[in-house]
Structure 1
Amino acid sequence: MAIGSILGSGTLGILIPPSIMLIVFGEIMQIPIGQIFAAALFPGLLLGVLYMVYIAVRATLNPTAAPANPVPDQRPLGQRLREVLINLIGPAVLIMSVLISIIVGVATPTEGAAIGAFGAMVIAWLSGNLRWPALWEALRETSLMTGMILILAVCATAFSLIFKRIGGQAMIEQAIGLLGSNPYMVILAIMILLFILGFFLEWIEISFLVLPMFAPVVAGLDFGTTFADRDQLMVWFAILVAVNLQTSFLTPPFGYALFYLKGANIEGVSMGDIYRSVIPIVLLQLLGLVLIVAFPSISLWLASLV
């Protein structure tokens, strides 16, 4: 249960803003970044609540699954709370400053990223951890990630244009038409396809290759009065895809989070233990996906206020 909790909460980082995935979705689907950030907040909190309920229920039914710490912390409660607040306030203020600046329109995503980078450097400096080797490593990793995403974007754009020119988009629309006129059946088919692709591909490849094909199809679906306009529909669809692709980090054989945790070399934890630990987490993520499909207001209520 501890392993599953770590993996499940860790994957929330790609859904709860600020999220690279959501920024990529916004660029691909031409959705305002502030709206998609606002729309992702409650779905991320919903998944967090589902994880907590799962832990509480399982620990209640089987107390041995969550045994008490054999060596309790003897420090005063005030001291422990003070340490938590010191370690929490800095990152929380940094994240909220980035989010609020983007959501209210004060800064673009690029400017928000600059605010976040500057704030992170200030926090590192105040904590005494700002060193040239760490700064160089941060620049190196950022350059590698940015270069990878941009190369994929260029290649995926070329692929999508060629695919459309040879009639691929019309073929997809015809295949979708075989599902009937029920728009929820179309959404179900797309979600199943994305879930299966998540076993073998990274979210970046799926985003750039699949979203340009399916976004026009979804934009043309008739949901009646469920959505006020196309923008609301596309924001809702983007959140569904983001929640779905969380599972790609946890599903074998290429779930990155599984191998990250195995790389930590935790004594007594085998790869089989890790695989088994994510089964309830993936099921909870799919439950959250179903709830967002059934109740679009979970993702759209806050976004509609922006």
Structure 2
Amino acid sequence: MRYRTIGTDPRTRREVSVLALGAMLFGSVTDEKTSFAVLDRYVEAGGNFIDTSDNYAFWVDAGQGGQSEELLGRWRRSRGVGDEIVIATKLGARPLAPGTSYVDNPEGLSAKVIRESAERSRERLGVAKLDLLYAHIEDHKIPLQETVEGFAALVAEGTVGLLGVSNHAAWRVERARALAAAAGLPGYEVLQYAHSHLRPRTDVPDDLFPDGSLGHAGPDLLSYLRAETGLTLVAYSPLLKGAYTHPDRLPADFDHPGTPARLAVLREVARETGASVNQVVLAWQIGGELPIIPLAGVSSVAQLEENLAAVDLELTAEQRTRLDAAH
């Protein structure tokens, strides 16, 4: 396994594996036995960066989520896992009542919610401190100052380490970080957005964000990442939920003239390296110019093994140039 540092403060920064494991469906769609087997193999291979959220997976049973965090808590206790494993979680998008969703009834990002939701996540995970806590979605009803101060208070108390942000417009990320810096408070250091080799259109709504593709790491966010060298991008859905091997799963916002050209280059490089297209996508992210950590969820140990092999896949400079240039 290879590792990357996230965070800049010596008191909170962590060394994490360059491939993160998504636990979104653990404890719900993916049963406990399989989930434990995947987690065990990931750790055995040197992986130490696991991602979840307080609202995973509310849509499975029309509930409020929490199944993933609860399963990770049971796994930690049964395996004697300590702080050598970095578990990241999120808050802000948990439905306030069963049968609702983050679209119409989210918990939001008030100081009260941040404190209470973080406490519940710590209880479910069975940890004294959350290694990395994200603001999951935007909350336009609460002043950014309140959100910034709410997160910073938990860091000051020692119940949260690093702070992250997901699915926010780049200008709101910068505004929040500027507010934190001006007040001498810790700010967001890890960004979590959808990012893959194929690029979506950003001028049409997608399924997850009907008001626009805020969830995707578009050119503005990648430019921001390039300029702010202390930031790291954790790229969710790097394999587009299996769309590289099952084209019928490709989301509608990827249906545009640039997609076939980028797919063609991916397949060329896969043939040249003897790797799968999925492995090429992950290796392209891991070894690129920008600090990107792919976050891949799996439903079997076999899928995990394929992803793990991408960590050691070295692409040539010429192959990277072709992959970058295709459009």
Q: Which has the higher helix share?
A: 1
Give the TM-score, by structure 2 length. 0.29
Higher percent of residues as strand: 2
Larger relative contact order (C-alpha < 8 A, sep ≥ 6)?
1
- Name which one, 1 or 2, has greater alpha-carbon Rg: 1
TM score, norm. by length of structure 1: 0.30
